[in-house]
A and B are shown apart, each in its own frame.
Chain A
Amino acid sequence: EAQVTQNPRYLITVTGKKLTVTCSQNMNHEYMSWYRQDPGLGLRQIYYSMNVEVTDKGDVPEGYKVSRKEKRNFPLILESPSPNQTSLYFCASRPLDRNNSPLHFGNGTRLTVT
């Protein structure tokens, strides 16, 4: 089944404790992206990647890191989480063979930083 898989689904951590949220897709998509969803703000893009070893900042990159060592994986790293990073995070991917292809989303990771 074609899918984007995020882990974990839920995560509670404390301020300053490094964490990684994993994202993997099995559709051979070139493009992958991370979003955060907050009430009243919709989805805001954190980072994106057009292909292996190519990453770029989105609209709200501060406090986050990503890497794209393999085409299928795009982990999101919070080196020193803070309470304002409490949010619902989504990973998404799409092919780049057409410039109007839809995004495929994972089921989300709900992060709470205390």
Chain B
Amino acid sequence: AQSVTQLDSQVPVFEEAPVELRCNYSSSVSVYLFWYVQYPNQGLQLLLKYLSGSTLVKGINGFEAEFNKSQTSFHLRKPSVHISDTAEYFCAPLVGKYIFGTGTRLKVLA
């Protein structure tokens, strides 16, 4: 069975500091990997996706993620966060259907 784990439910970080949000998945078949972001009182929107090719993918707002097949991970990173990055982030492998992680709340502190 396919599953996804977001190890951190909450991540506080100071403005302009780097951040990494972790995501691990398990799947016996190839997957497509997505990160979605949910800003307060809004729906989810696509942040970035890995379909094939280069394992480092770049998304909106300066975020990037690296696909690591051997570690079955797809961690999300940003070198310098802004207050406006405060949101909940969901990792979502697509294996026939989307499987959403439990989310990581990123809180950027001034």
Contacts and interface: CB of A to CB of B under 8 A. Distances in A.
B100 A43 contact: yes
In which size bucket is the chain B interface? 20 to 34
A90 B102 CA distance: 15
A42 B101 contact: yes
Interface stretch (B13-21, B61-69, B78-86, B90-98): B90-98
Contact of B94 (A40, A100, A107, A108): A100
A90 B36 CA distance: 14
A45 interface: yes
A100 B103 contact: no
B81 to A, nearest CB: 22
A42 B102 contact: yes
Given A41-B102, A42-B90, A43-B100, A105 B9 contact: no
Contacts of A42: 90, 100-103
Contacts of A40: 9, 102
Contacts of B32: 100
Contacts of B98: 45, 103
Contact of A107 (B36, B42, B51): B42
Dominant secondary structure at the A interface: strand
Interface residues of A, number: 18
A41 B6 CA distance: 11
Given A100-B49, A100-B51, A105-B43, 12 more contacts: A35-B100, A40-B102, A41-B102, A43-B44, A45-B98, A48-B97, A90-B43, A92-B43, A92-B44, A103-B98, A107-B41, A108-B42
25 contacts: A4-B43, A40-B102, A42-B90, A42-B101, A42-B102, A43-B90, A43-B100, A45-B97, A45-B98, A48-B97, A90-B43, A90-B44, A92-B43, A100-B32, A100-B49, A100-B51, A102-B34, A102-B46, A103-B36, A103-B46, A105-B36, A105-B43, A105-B44, A107-B43, A108-B42
